[in-house]
Amino acid sequence: MGRELQVKSLASAESVREVEAFVNEKLAEVAASVKTTDSQIITILTLMNIAESYLALARETDEFRKQGSERISSLLYKLEKNLE
């Protein structure tokens, strides 16, 4: 959004560049999709979009873990039953 920031991070420079590119891309997407040029509104909308995506992935990951755990439990039960 036309501003330079100095960032201190324990992450590698490559990782920081990847995050920077991701954030800049998301900001540009939102800026292109709204009529305002108010950087604060664009930033808030971008944060909301990123949060929405994160929460959807977190729910999906939790569901995947739950299904995996249930499947493993079922398989273990079947194995134990066959060993009896």
Interval 36-58 mean pLDDT: 97
pTM here is 0.74
Supply the DSSP string of the chain, one letter for each residue: ---------SS-HHHHHHHHHHHHHHHHHHHHHSS---HHHHHHHHHHHHHHHHHHHHHHHHHHHHHHHHHHHHHHHHHHHHH-
The 10s digit of each residue's pLDDT in 16-26 is 999 999 999 99
Place of tokens 């990847």: 18
List the structure tokens of 73: 């439990």
Looking at per-residue pLDDT, the higher value among 15 and 2 belongs to 15
Give the integer Cα–Cα distance in Å for 46 and 42. Answer: 6
